[in-house]
Structures are given as C-alpha cells and as structure tokens.
Amino acid sequence: MYQALVDRNSEFEGVFYVGVTTTGIFCRPTCPARKPKPENVEFFGSPKEALYAGYRPCLRCQPLDRDKKAPELVTRLRQMVDDSPTGKITDSDLRTLGIDPSTARRQFRRYYGMTFQAYHRARRMGRALHEIRKGESVIGAQIDTGFESASGFWEAFKQVFGTPPSKAEQAGCLFAQWIDTPLGAMVALGNNDGIHLLEFADRRGLENEITRVRKHLKCSVVPGTNPNLEKICEEVRDYFDGTSVHFTVPMITSGTPFEQAVWKQLQSIPPGETWSYSDLAKKLGNPGAVRAVGRANGRNCIAIAVPCHRVIRADGELCGYGGGVWRKRWLLEHEQKFK
C-alpha cells in the first residue's frame, strides 16, 4: 500500500486511505501532496475509520468526495465543521444560518453516506480518541473536544459498548483497548481471564460481536487496560513488525462445541500456509460440514491470533473476510516470511 501511495496508483482508489501522523490529515492513495515517510503513515479501509482515528480530510485530494462535485450546501456544511471541529452545531444553529436541517441531513447523506450530524460527531469523537491515545485524560479530552457533559462524551461509546463507565461497578467489566496497526485500528476486549475479542475497528458486524460477548458474560465494556490487554498489544505489534507470529495471551471464546472445535483447528494452521474449507472439515472428521465450517469461521471474533484468514476456497480464491479481502491478502503475504 505504501508503494501504491508513492506511485499514486489509481487502481487503489477506494481500496484504502492513508493517515499521516505528522499532519493529522488523511488522503487518497493518488494524492499529489509530498509523500510522508513510511513510519509516519497508517492505513484505513474507509474514510469513516480515518475520521474516528482523529484525522481530517485532505484539502487537495478530497478523500470524502466522489467523482461528481459536492453540492454547494454540502461543501458549506463541511467547511463549518472544519472551521470549528470541537464546537456544537445544532438544528437551531442551522436554521439561524438559513439552512433547513432536514435538507442538510438528506443532501449530506446522499453525498457522503452519513448525515451531517454523524459526520460532525465522527470528527469530534475522532479528535477526542486521538487525544486519549496521546496520553490525555478522559475528562481532559472531553473538555478539549467541546463535549459539554460526560454523558454526551460517552454517548458514542454507549452505542457500541452498551453500558457507560459510570455503571461499571454494577456489573462485570471488560476493558476495551485501541491498537494501531499498519492495516488500520483494531479493538481488543479483555479482562483478567484473557482476551475475548480482537477485531479491526471497521469490521462489518463489530457492534453485534461486542454485544454478543457482553451478553454472554453479562458485563459492561469500558475503555481501559489490564495485563492481558497490554500483552495482546505487544504481540500484535510484534506480529506486524515481523518479529513474531506467536500469540501466548489467553484467548477466551464463546460458541457451540462445533464452533470451538473449528476455532481450535484454525490455530493449528501453520503461518505461511492456507487450508480450504473442505480441508478444515476433513480435519474435524466431518467432510460434509463445509458450510458449517464457513459459518463458524465467520463467527470467529479473535482476528489474526485465531487465524481465520488462513482459510481460502478450494480453487485458491480468497473469499469473504470480515476485515476485508484486501487485509486478508496482506496478512497472507506478510506471513510468508514465517514459513
């Protein structure tokens, strides 16, 4: 992906977006701006993920824009957010400026696939998370990014995690940790027993996975860390650095006996190798369970460490992967060095 960025390869348009850590800006792979050093970039599968990681869109390559020019109202609304990313823009504010809120929502959604308010929240929450990742306290990030109350600040977390931090004492608790990787951010959930989830932050169905884990354990999820989360962060970094492919942190999975058997078998696939779904079914002693194996593979919620990406179609084609086929291809190529 970095080579594609350097070459401004148009074949990668829409495949990935690149965030530049030194400027806080994210771009298309074809951006004409001066190229950053490899150590100063991270890659994302979508503009939304880049926004939530705290990056703002590049003014030169306009990574949020499509082929057609943005409507004047949409451009005006985006400029309002860029001028005051931490401020609050209400429907009343829009009316004062002569903008109908419903029209703003409709045009923004039609062009960007999200409402104006959702875009604004993404920018604000992204900045807040960026500050926390740099070491800022939660309350400090809340104040710095313009959230007037703790309840407002945690609303985005509640939508995903289900329970605000204030109620953590009333239930069991899993801590959530953000992990930066060359393929975009990952989210890990863990407690003193081990790691219960490790997924790319933009994975389809991530919210459902978190909800399933929460309900199974009857617990809340709050941002934080513990020794197991610190360990998985270290092992994920080692994996992407190419220094180790082994994961020793305890992994706790919840599923049917058949799903558990599939996930255990996945961990026996050597790095640098791939099995087909039919190979996996045969290893389990049930050659006719190819579709069931595929479903179990899709329900795995510990990416990389339980390597479901090493399973491909019998004809050698890469197929569905929750983190995106482009990531699956990268992971398999990366693991060739461990053969």
- Write out the catalytic residue numbers: 308
DSSP 228-276: HHHHHHHHHHHHHHTS-----S-B-----HHHHHHHHHHTTSPTT--EE
Non-local (6+) Cβ contacts of 320 within 8 A are: 298
Instruction: Check the CA dihedral 162-165-170-171 and report its sign.
Output: positive
Fill in the DSSP letter of residue 306: S
DSSP 5-68: HHHT-GGGTTT-EEEETTTTEEE-TT--SPPPPGGGEEEESSHHHHHHTT-EE-TTT-TT--SS
Q: What angle do CA 296, 301, 306 make, to 5 degrees?
A: 80
β-strands 311-312, 275-276: how paired? parallel
